[in-house]
Amino acid sequence: MEAFLLDWLNILVRWLHFVTGIAWIGSSLYFIWLDNHLEAPREPADSQKGVGGELWSVHGGGFYHAQKYRTSPTTLPEHLHWFKWEAYSTWLSGIFLLGLVYFLGAEIYLIDRSVADLSVVAAISIAIGFIVGGWVVYDLMCKSPLAGNDRLFGLALLLLCAALAWGLCHLFSGRAAYILFGATLGTIMVANVFFVIIPGQRKMVESAERGEAPDPAHGVRAKLRSVHNTYFTLPVLFVMTSNHYAMTYSHEYNWAVLIGISIAGALIRIYFVARHKGDASKVPAVLAVLLLVIIAALLTPQSKTASTESVTFLQVQNVINARCTSCHSSAPVHPAFPAAPLGVMFDSDEQILAEADRIYQQTVVTRVMPIGNLTAMTDEERQIIASWYQSLGGAE
């Protein structure tokens, strides 16, 4: 019953995280787009009252007229909407989900003893340290002279992300490392909102309420952090779906794959942001596509010499019974799985033969199963499965 309730909690929190993430990222992308499409106000009266840019648009059968003030209007409206809870809700639900899946199930999803032999307490503590430390280092960078040079800051941020990816992938399971990378970037994004953007906006509102001209420095700092957030967006979205793609996080150089795909995502955002501003250059988009093609080529499974070792089906069956059926059966004995994951069961010869491709792919090619190598499948046992698969006519 406990596992059943945890599954439902997982579903509901994941759904909440997904919905709030759409709301946050959607509004973030929209405002970046809006800011880069503003035109000088056509009416002199609008310019005189402080409007710095405007945009007419049509959507859903209606016309909209958006205006942005250079600092603030002379009189604040009665109702002023703050875009913050979308970000906070996304982060809170994401951190709860991280705890529910990767911390509560640390032995299964967080720790891979073939990568680093960590205790549960040590693994969780290190993971939290990376998440908090990522924000601290990034924030110090933003407050340093580096922030005054976009290119140097971008290079420093790239190096920070590369070090983060490398460190995580050398301490945790590949799947967990990717999620923690996204959690760290997501924490930086929401911390930008909580510690910089919203406080700056509050000070601007307070100045306007006192009839004073708001300090434009608050808007400049908020805009800088908002731009950083938009470049983090696509890498974080990739990480949110990465657990479906074992070929990435299970690779020997999974950290390089992660940073490569993250760079491609950032380049795609650079392309669209530049396009919003009227820059027709397609160089960032072309570089992103080339980078993804190179990564895909490097991830292509390499052909191997067929094994001449003779393997019986009984040997394969013994390996699967010892290493796989504790989870993949009609009645799993592992407490974390009340039902066979993905409905895959190996209770009979027919079921094993029907899943031959999946068994080979997951245990030999990507080596992500058994998950976290919980049942300690050996290289010799993986070779037994590989030889059996080849004898069936399967291709390496």
> Where does the pLDDT of residue 229 fall: very low under 50, low under 70, confident under 90, or very high at 90 and above?
very high
Q: Mapping DSSP to helix (H, G, I), strand (E, B) and coil, where does residue 333 land? A: coil
Is pLDDT at 109 greater than 50 in this prediction? yes
Model pLDDT, residue 308: 59
Separation in Å, CA 23 to CA 19, 88, 181? 6, 11, 21
Distance CA 261, CA 257 (A): 6
* Angle 76-77-78 from CA coordinates, rounded to 5°: 120
Q: What pLDDT does 303 receive?
A: 56
Average pLDDT, the chain: 91
Question: Is 309 a residue whose pLDDT tops 80?
Answer: no
Locate 335 and state its tokens.
């407490």
Cis-peptide, bond into residue 341, ω within 30° of zero: no
Helices (H), the chain: 2-37, 44-48, 85-98, 120-142, 150-169, 174-191, 198-209, 216-241, 246-249, 254-276, 283-299, 313-323, 349-354, 356-360, 379-391
pLDDT value at 350 more than 50: yes
Out of 85-94, 116-125, 302-311, 324-333, pick the least confident. 302-311
The average pLDDT across 295-318 equals: 79
Scan for tokens 């809006």, then name that residue: 34
pLDDT in tens, 36-51: 999 999 999 999 889 9
- pLDDT surpassing 90 at residue 220: no
CA distances from 190 to 1, 79, 138, 265, 378 (A): 35, 24, 13, 19, 42
Q: Which two tokens stand for residue 361?
A: 């792919």
pLDDT at 332: 87
Q: Is 61's pLDDT higher than 50?
A: yes
Comparison of pLDDT for 139 and 8, the residue scoring more: 139
pLDDT score recorded for residue 242:
94
Residue 396's pLDDT band (cuts 50, 70, 90): very low
By CB atoms closer than 10 A (0-12, 13-18, 19+), residue 30 is exposed
What mean pLDDT do residues 225-232 have? Answer: 93
Please count the other Cβ atoms lying within 10 Å of the Cβ belonging to residue 221.
Answer: 19
Is pLDDT at 189 greater than 90 in this prediction?
Answer: yes
Tell me the average pLDDT across 323-336.
87
State what percent of residues in the chain have pLDDT above 70.
97
How much is the pLDDT for 253?
Answer: 95
Query: Rounded mean pLDDT of 327-337?
Result: 85
Q: Which residue has the higher pLDDT, 396 or 296?
A: 296
pTM over 0.75: yes
The H or E element that residue 55 is part of is strand 51-59
Nearest to 182 by CA among 101, 104, 252: 101
pLDDT of residue 336: 73
